[in-house]
Amino acid sequence: MMYLLSFARCEKWIKNSKHPFPMALFRLVSFIRVFELPSPQWFNLCLYCLHQTIITLWHYFSHFFYYLPAFKGRLHSYGKRTLLYNGLPFFNGPLIMTIGNDCRISGKTTFIGRSDSIYPTLSVGNNVDIGWQTTVVVGNKINIGDNVRIAGQGFLCGYPGHPINPHLRAQGLPDLPQQIGNITLENDVWVGTRVSIIGNVTIGARSIIATGSVVTKSFPPNTLIAGNPAKAIKTLKNDVLHSQGKDTS
């Protein structure tokens, strides 16, 4: 601490002093901070390409030989052609997780199973994307259907983690069974960035949830969903058929 205080005083003295020596020292430090080695553009380009090659190879080998096998070791069952990028997801609790074929999952994700539940289960279908910084919190069961897209910073919350009663919270007691709810995303659902979905919710097939929405109730298929709390904006089925009609005409 004394060293940091002395360094801060010294830095302040160099910046503010009007004496020739600290002023010259300040100019020297400023020059060093912005000094650049003269290098031709072809050298800069080669260096950048070398950097990208090294990073790409490192990501490939770490994914193939380390992260992906470790990730599969935590799964109950998994399909083929799994792509795991940017590391290894964080797991917590007694979660049973299964994934299908052709899934792409960010390593910057979190999967949690409620410790007081019996066999909390996360079932992920085929051809599913789970984006960066998404958190999936399983109370009893969460089902994600085929071809589902979950963008970054999504939050699927099957249980709150604490009771509503403040006295029970203060005692460190877990949430109550009636606070736990299942979540189902049916086939072809698209979940936008920073969407939160609370328990006891089913999102119908082919529905789209707009960015930043907080979903607290179920919606039928082919619905555009948006807002906090989320509401049905319109039905997508007629729009899809209309656009297909335009394309074929």
Burial classification of residue 235, based on how many CB atoms lie within 10 Å of its CB (0-12 exposed, 13-18 middle, 19 or more buried): middle
Place of tokens 């553009």: 41
Residue partners of 187: CB distance under 8 A and separation at least 6: 125, 145, 146, 147, 148, 205, 206
The tokens for 229 are 């709390």
Residue partners of 237: CB distance under 8 A and separation at least 6: 206, 221, 222
Query: Strand 110-113's sheet: what is its strand order?
Result: 90-92, 110-113, 135-138, 155-157, 196-198, 214-215
* Residues with active-site annotation: 162
Backbone angles phi, psi at 158, to 5 degrees: -85, -15
The DSSP call for residue 179 is: G
Beta bridge partners of 219: 203
Cα dihedral angle (63, 113, 185, 219), rounded to 10 degrees?
-150
106 closest CA partner among 146, 67, 66, 57: 67
